[in-house]
């Protein structure tokens, strides 16, 4: 990594170093709320966009140019890894992704194979290469990502999104041994996927545990945590900071701090000061404005953003939302958030 | 209330008194997992069942006879109150309830009127009267219930169930003053509804805040808490214990303890010992086995139930699940849970 990128606001904050102001980016910042994104999506379906490096790179760059965020996140989807491990995924128009023949038995788990990164996920690396080549002269890092083992297991078992993921938890409760085996297999695939992204030019990687919050603490410690540790162990030697996002993070903060992640990305439910009190100083924090606050007018957005910094005045903070930006947020409101961060007096 | 009922296991535990063993019941215990319930539902639709006191009472009694639980909860739905306040609700066959013309504006809020309990919710009182008449000789109390102001607002604004309730949170963020007004109106309706149920024979009432867990602590304190206090203030003078259930309760435990509720019913995410540490001794606790643990075999169900009591050995505990029992749980597994509680050595 070039010295300048190493000293970018974003990477300094990931390492918990003192910075003049917190860096800012938004989960799902390359997405539907941007007319420029919708213009590109009008011509291609979601999966084609993921798999066409030039287009994926173009939409990844949009929020850097339009909002002026301090990091780009690569446009992709957590499910492309499941596809590269042997599952068939459909992204239909009016509902979310669906998996044909979801995992329901031990023999289904055996069908999963390690991903061939250079072949089956080559397009992700290519998109990262193009994006980081463009952004390196501007000193803006690119973030790669993957789903967490538990969250990928949820999709692989359920076959589609769900509110409670009861099929997954049924599998976990009926056959805990094979559920743990599945998570380990996924963890190894995740490590390979993230390694590939770092080697292609990602300066940091984020692991999304979108559904980790549905577990009891006992099950989180028993199932989710060891698999996360296994995935993170597989990428730490490459030196890129690892960010761990859990939605519904409140019950699991202490455990998240034990995963080996450098940064914990937390939802909006707790004030950052309380999160900090519970996880100590060994990790940086990312978050955590409620994404629905961006429905408010810019004056309220500025107030709430400043209140967030007043509540967590120290270093080791990356400003973000507590979940992805919603598709019907006005761009002006997203800009108001970014600007409020970038003009904050620390 | 007759002296014997006052001294029932369930009501003693609600008051935090020492009992030989914890009482046990299950949220949604009168429901689809029971073949005897499905037999009755085969002949009538959901709303007709709610509105026919003889039938509602019959299904409320089923889990007392079949599982041997220590309390009956009246068969009803939190949305019947919204209907009595002027909204039109459809319970369609293959999806959840839908509200025609959901609330989207201030003039929509003005359409809501106080419920006429004696007229429009008379069937709930009748069902409670029939059920408590049957159970009083057996010394088993009947629990009435209502939705919490925030959760009812979610349905009233969204019009149907949702994962994130973004329309509701959009309303809250765009127009906080009128959102608070809506919650206060709902709180007054809830108080009337619960008063009616207590007067009809309910020995305790539970308020379900199924969606309270999607709020940040700040918004919970600002919106959900004052409305809950207003509803609970309206029923406390009647002397029946008030149980407050929040799904996703972890961020809000301290606030829940400030609502005036006698019992906090919590989800499965935290061990009860930690919940107790955070809320102190002034409330009893209800919960909190992960409902998906009932997919496990009876041996595991017994282990996890005993572990729950080992973790919270003191008085002031009502055994329950952390959320409603799921429709595909084997009856034998529900029985194993009830029996594990009833044979526990405290």
Q: What is the DSSP string of B10-31?
A: HHHHHTT---SS--B--TT-SS
Backbone angles phi, psi at A210, to 5 degrees: -60, -30
Per-residue pLDDT, A131: 98
Domain range enclosing B172: 3-342
Give me the mean pLDDT over the B117-142 stretch: 97
Catalytic annotation, residues of B:
28, 32, 41, 77, 155
Residue A2 pLDDT more than 80?
no
pLDDT in tens, B243-264: 999 999 999 999 999 999 999 9
Could you tell me if residue A283 is inside a domain?
no
Residue-by-residue DSSP string for B74-85: ----THHHHHHT
Q: For chain B, how many structural domains are there in total?
A: 1
By Cβ distance, the residue of B174, B248, B268 closest to A216 is B268
Q: What is the CATH number of the domain that holds B285?
A: 3.20.20.210
Mean pLDDT of A290-300: 96
* pLDDT confidence band for A314 (50 / 70 / 90): confident
Structure confidence at residue B345 (pLDDT): 75
Mean pLDDT value of segment B319-341: 97
CB-closest option in A173, A251, A322 to B250: A251
Give tens-digit pLDDT for B182-231: 999 999 999 999 999 999 999 999 999 999 999 999 999 999 999 999 99
Q: Across the interface, which of B248, B290, B326 has its CB nearest the CB of A216?
A: B290
Lowest mean pLDDT among A14-18, A41-45, A204-208, B157-161: B157-161
**A141 lies in a domain?**
yes
pLDDT of residue B343: 95
In chain A, the residue whose alpha carbon lies closest to the alpha carbon of B329 is: A170
Tell me the pLDDT tens digit for each residue of B94-104: 667 899 999 98
CA dist., res. B202 & res. B198, Å (int): 4
Q: Which residues of A touch B296 (CB under 8 A)?
A: 173-174
Q: What is the complex's ipTM, to 2 decimals?
A: 0.92
Q: Which of A174, A248, A295 sits opposite B296 (nearest CB)?
A: A174
Query: Quick check: is A222 in a domain?
Result: yes
Order the strands of the A284-289 sheet from edge to edge. Answer: A72-73, A142-147, A204-209, A242-246, A263-266, A284-289, A317-321
Smallest CA–CA distance, residue B211 to chain A, in Å, is: 12
Half-sphere exposure of A264 (CA within 13 A, CB side): 27
B54: number of CA atoms within 13 Å, CB side?
1
pLDDT at A97: 86
State residue A165's pLDDT score: 86
Nearest-neighbour CA in chain A from B174: distance (Å): 5
The region that residue A28 occupies, defined by phi over 0 for left and psi between -120 and 50 for alpha, beta otherwise, is left
Residue A345 has what pLDDT? 75
Strands (E), A92-197: 97-100, 142-147
Which residue in chain B is spatially nearest to A161 when comparing CA positions?
Answer: B163
Residue A298 maps to a domain: no
On whether residue A219 sits in a domain, the answer given is yes
Question: Does A125 reside within a domain?
Answer: yes
pLDDT at B289 over 80: yes
| Residue of B161 and B255 predicted with greater confidence | B255
Catalytic residues of A: 28, 32, 41, 77, 155
Looking at the domain assignment, is residue A328 inside a domain? no
The rounded mean pLDDT for chain A is: 95
Q: What is the pLDDT of residue B1?
A: 56
Please indicate if any CB of chain B lies within 8 Å of the CB of A33. no
Q: Cβ of B172 under 8 Å from any chain A Cβ?
A: yes
Any chain B CB within 8 A of the CB of A178? no
B269 and A173 within 8 Å at the Cβ level: the answer is no
Residues of A in contact with B172 (CB under 8 A): 292
At residue A135, the pLDDT reads 98
Q: Rounded to the nearest 5 degrees, what angle is found at the Cα of A208, between the Cα atoms of A205 and A210?
A: 170
Residue B275 has pLDDT above 70, yes or no: yes
């Amino acid at each position: 990594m070039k010295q300048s990128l190493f000293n970018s606001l974003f990477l300094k904050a990931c390492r918990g170093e003192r910075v003049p102001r917190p860096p800012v980016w938004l989960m799902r910042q390359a997405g539907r709320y941007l007319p420029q994104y919708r213009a590109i999506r009008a011509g291609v379906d979601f999966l084609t966009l993921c798999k066409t490096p030039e287009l994926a790179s173009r939409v990844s760059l949009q929020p850097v140019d339009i909002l002026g965020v301090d990091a780009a996140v690569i446009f992709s989807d957590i499910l492309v890894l499941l596809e590269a491990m042997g599952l068939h995924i459909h992204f239909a128009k009016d509902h979310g992704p669906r998996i044909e023949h979801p995992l329901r038995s031990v023999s289904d788990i055996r069908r999963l194979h390690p991903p061939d990164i250079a072949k089956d996920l080559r397009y992700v690396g290519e998109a990262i290469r193009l994006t980081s080549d463009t952004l390196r002269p501007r000193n803006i890092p690119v973030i790669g990502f993957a789903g967490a083992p538990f969250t990928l297991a949820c999709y692989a078992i359920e076959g589609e999104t769900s509110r409670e993921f009861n099929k997954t938890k049924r599998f976990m409760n009926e056959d805990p041994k094979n559920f743990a085996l599945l998570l380990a297999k996924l963890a190894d695939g995740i490590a390979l996927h993230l390694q590939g992204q770092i080697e292609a030019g990602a300066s940091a990687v984020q692991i999304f545990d979108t559904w980790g919050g549905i577990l009891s603490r006992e099950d989180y410690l028993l199932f989710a945590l060891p698999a996360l540790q296994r995935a993170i162990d597989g990428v730490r030697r490459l030196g890129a900071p690892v960010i761990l996002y859990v939605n519904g993070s409140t019950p699991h903060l202490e455990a998240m701090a034990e995963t080996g992640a450098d940064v914990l990305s937390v939802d909006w439910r707790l004030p950052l000061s309380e999160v900090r009190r519970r996880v100590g100083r060994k990790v940086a924090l990312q978050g955590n404005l409620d994404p629905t606050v961006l429905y408010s007018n810019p004056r309220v957005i500025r107030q709430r953003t400043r209140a967030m910094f007043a509540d967590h005045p120290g270093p080791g903070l990356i400003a973000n939302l507590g979940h992805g930006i919603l598709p019907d947020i006005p761009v002006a409101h997203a800009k108001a958030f970014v600007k409020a961060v970038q003009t904050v007096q620390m």
